[in-house]
Amino acid sequence: MSELIHTCYRVADLDRSIAFYEKLGMEEIGRIPIRDEAINVFMGLPGDGPRLELTYNIGRDEPYEIGTGYGHIAITVADIDATLERLETVGIEPERPPYTVREGGSRLCFVRDPDDYRIELLEAAAG
């Protein structure tokens, strides 16, 4: 049986990216140096495993282009208003206030990480 184990993207400043994802509630789960070329840091929500791989390429000075194919990663939160209040205290603002995409749907909003990747915060349905 196959399973999707993680998503990877490249970051310009590893410490800044780790700090951002820690503010979203993730924790560093593992770190793997790749010779003297790169460092892979695995992040995940507590108890869930390494779901996000941040790759820092040593010596790269120019920023990465996100491209038109990347959309976002999504994280569920129990209370989107409380989450946004907490994130505001650490300098993370949503692109726009929470909204729904359909009648009766879950509330959601997007934030951006230090490399401009979008993260969807999706309020978990009650019950």
For the stretch 73-111, pLDDT in tens is 999 999 999 999 999 999 999 999 999 988 888 999 999
Give CA–CA dist 67/38, Å, rounded.
21
- Residue positions annotated with a catalytic role: 120
Can you give the pLDDT at residue 126? Answer: 59
Name the residue range of residue 48's domain: 7-123
pLDDT tens-digit readout, 50-60: 999 999 999 99
Q: Domain for residue 27, yes or no?
A: yes
Q: Domain for residue 1, yes or no?
A: no
CATH of the domain at 49: 3.10.180.10
Give CA–CA dist 114/41, Å, rounded.
16
Can you give the pLDDT at residue 125? Answer: 73
Q: Domain for residue 59, yes or no?
A: yes
pLDDT tens-digit readout, 3-20: 888 999 999 999 999 999
User: Which single residue is written with the structure tokens 């990747």?
Assistant: 117
Strand, helix or coil at 56? Answer: strand
Number of domains in the chain: 1
Can you give the pLDDT at residue 68? Answer: 81
Mean pLDDT of 63-79: 90
Q: Domain for residue 2, yes or no?
A: no
Q: In percent, how much of the chain has pLDDT > 70?
A: 98
Can you give the pLDDT at residue 113? Answer: 96
Q: Domain for residue 98, yes or no?
A: yes
Provide the whole-model pTM: 0.87
CA atoms within 13 A on the CB side of 55: 12
Q: In percent, how much of the chain has pLDDT > 90?
A: 79
Give CA–CA dist 56/39, Å, rounded.
5
Q: Domain for residue 37, yes or no?
A: yes
| Per-residue pLDDT at 46 exceeds 80 | yes
User: Which single residue is written with the structure tokens 């460092």?
Assistant: 39
Nearest partner of 42 among 34, 26, 31, judged by Cα = 31
